[in-house]
């Protein structure tokens, strides 16, 4: 019995050394000294031993109990969370606990940059609804029902109300571009001269490394009585240089958009290779940015402007694209996954 007690003591002392938290020590105390503990169990057998051994074992058992209790107490004082401040000591040189600081999402940062650039050129910032109707999203922009240009802008439609005809404005849908906000909606409420930009969320049935069903766009419009294509070129060149914060060139390629005539696509010098040619620009040295042109007379008429007196330019592009170019982001989807490790980098 004496041997068993000694062995239990050694085992418990060894374990105390290895335990590294208060909870572990508490468990150990119960395991050895609790009511059903290993040492208590041995002591219960004391009634069966000879009379002269009883006091010897009893004494030993008590000593072991005291020794283990002390060892547990000493070990526990290391983890019981008594810090230097508990003893009235404050060390002002220790680093404080910083609260995590957030910042604007990179898309918002880009939007704010664009607003600043165009505000400095005397453009007003306007807004339009994200739930748009067929008229403003398509028809007023010279894209009638069944026009093939609708194919590239398939979107999400809202459920029609039962027994209600859709009327002149047509079905409700999620807007496919901000052209609906900057062009007819704003033009019909304001007389020329007019300079506005519209930014915001747009929606299309698209998804791959460079497309998401929800994305952001930016559209600009200027209408006056003496606006020419060179005004458009000058405006876009200056704006692109300021937005991308690089001394880039702008190139125009003739293209077709139903709401402008003539229409063009515009490219900027590839900011990755500085125009030398790389995989991002498919070795052309240019990156496609968006569309532009002189506002079509039918769009001016839809806003009740007289195309003989007034003319204007319009342009539009996605917000994600310049952002991806500026920060060399390979997959557009990472912008909307809300992964703080990604967002912290901006």
Site string for ligand DAH, 176-215 (x = CB under 6 A): -x-x------------------------------------
Interface stretch with ligand DAH, choices 246-254, 276-284, 288-296, 303-311 (CB under 6 A): 288-296
> What does the per-residue mask of binding to ligand DAH show for 140-179, with x meaning CB under 6 A?
-------------------------------------x-x
For Cα atoms 312, 318, 324, give the angle at the middle one, nearest 5 degrees. Answer: 140
How far, rounded to the nearest angstrom, does the alpha carbon of residue 118 sit from its chain's CA centroid?
A: 25
DSSP state at residue 184: I
Q: How many residues does the chain have?
A: 346
Nearer to ligand DAH, 32 or 118 (CB): 118
* Residue 322 binding ligand DAH, by CB under 6 A: no
Binding track, positions 210-249, relative to ligand DAH; x by CB under 6 A: ---------x------------------------------
Under rule CB under 6 A, residue 315 binds ligand DAH:
yes
Rounded to the nearest whole angstrom, what is the least distance from the CB of residue 324 to ligand DAH in the complex?
17
Does 293 bind ligand DAH (CB under 6 A)? Our answer is yes
> In this structure, what DSSP letter does residue 161 have?
P
Residue 158, token pair as written in the block: 């809202």
For residue 178, the minimal CB distance to ligand DAH (Å) is 7
Spatial contact of 193 and 223, defined as CB atoms under 8 Å apart: yes
Half-sphere exposure of 160 (CA within 13 A, CB side): 10
**Considering CB under 6 A, how many residues would be counted as binding ligand DAH?**
12
Minimum CB distance to ligand DAH, residue 345 (Å)? 28
314 binds ligand DAH (CB under 6 A): yes
User: Chain-centre distance of CA 80, in angstroms?
Assistant: 41
CB 261 → ligand DAH: shortest distance, Å?
10
Residue 100 CB partners (closer than 8 Å, separation 6+): none
Structure tokens at 233: 């070129």
Stretch that binds ligand DAH, among 47-55, 271-279, 290-298, 323-331 (CB under 6 A): 290-298
316 binds ligand DAH (CB under 6 A): yes
Report the residue from 257, 266, 286, 305 that binds ligand DAH according to the rule CB under 6 A. Answer: 257
- Residue 105 CA to residue 86 CA, distance in Å, equals 42
Tell me: does residue 291 bind ligand DAH (CB under 6 A).
yes
- What's the min distance (Å) between Cβ of 338 and ligand DAH? 26
**Do residues 187 and 303 lie in contact, with contact meaning Cβ atoms separated by under 8 Å?**
yes
* DSSP codes joined into one string, 212-240: -SEEEEEEEEEEESS--HHHHHHHHHHHH
Q: Is 292 near ligand DAH (CB under 6 A)?
A: yes
Structure tokens at 133: 């109707």
Is 138 a residue that touches ligand DAH (CB under 6 A)? Answer: no
CA dihedral 109, 110, 114, 119 (to 10 degrees): 0
CB 194 within 8 A of CB 187: yes
CA pair distance 157, 134, nearest whole angstrom: 10
* Type and span of the H or E element at 257: none
267 is an interface residue for ligand DAH by CB under 6 A: no
Nearer to ligand DAH among residue 128 and residue 291 (C-beta): 291
Binding span for ligand DAH by CB under 6 A among 185-193, 235-243, 298-306, 310-318: 310-318
β pairing state of 124-126 and 194-203? parallel
| Interaction between residue 325 and ligand DAH (CB under 6 A) | no
Count Cβ atoms below 10 Å from residue 282 Cβ, excluding itself: 12
Chain residues binding ligand DAH by CB under 6 A are 177, 179, 219, 257, 260, 290-293, 314-316
């Amino acid at each position: 019995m004496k041997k068993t007690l000694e062995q239990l003591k050694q085992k418990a002392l060894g374990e105390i050394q290895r335990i590294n938290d208060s909870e572990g020590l508490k468990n150990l105390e119960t395991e050895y000294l609790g009511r059903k503990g290993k040492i208590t169990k041995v002591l219960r057998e004391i009634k069966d031993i000879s009379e002269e051994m009883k006091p010897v074992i009893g004494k030993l058992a008590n000593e072991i109990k005291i020794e283990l209790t002390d060892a547990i107490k000493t070990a526990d004082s290391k983890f019981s969370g008594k810090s230097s401040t508990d003893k009235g000591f404050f060390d002002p040189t220790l680093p404080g606990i910083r609260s995590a600081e957030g910042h604007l999402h990179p898309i918002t940062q880009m939007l704010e940059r664009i607003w600043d650039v165009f505000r400095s050129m005397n453009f007003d910032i306007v807004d339009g609804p994200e739930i748009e109707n067929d008229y403003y999203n398509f028809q007023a922009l010279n894209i009638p029902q069944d026009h093939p240009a609708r194919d590239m802008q398939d979107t999400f439609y809202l459920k029609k109300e039962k027994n209600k005809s859709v009327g002149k404005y047509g079905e409700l849908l999620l807007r496919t571009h901000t052209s609906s906000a900057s062009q007819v909606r704003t033009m019909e409420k304001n007389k020329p001269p007019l300079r506005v930009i519209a930014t915001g969320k747009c929606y299309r049935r698209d998804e791959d490394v460079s497309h998401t069903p929800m994305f952001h766009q930016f559209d600009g419009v200027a209408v006056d009585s003496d606006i020419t294509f060179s005004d458009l070129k000058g405006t876009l060149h200056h704006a692109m240089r300021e937005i991308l914060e690089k001394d880039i060139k702008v190139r125009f390629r003739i293209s077709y958009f139903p709401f402008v005539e003539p229409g063009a696509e515009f490219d900027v010098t590839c900011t990755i290779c500085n125009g030398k040619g790389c995989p991002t620009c498919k070795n052309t040295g240019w990156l496609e940015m968006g569309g532009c042109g002189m506002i079509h007379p039918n769009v001016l008429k839809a806003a009740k402007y007289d195309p003989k007196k007034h003319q204007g330019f319009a342009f539009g592009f996605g917000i994600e694209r310049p952002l991806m170019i500026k920060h060399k982001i390979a997959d557009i989807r990472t912008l909307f996954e809300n992964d703080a490790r990604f967002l912290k980098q901006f």
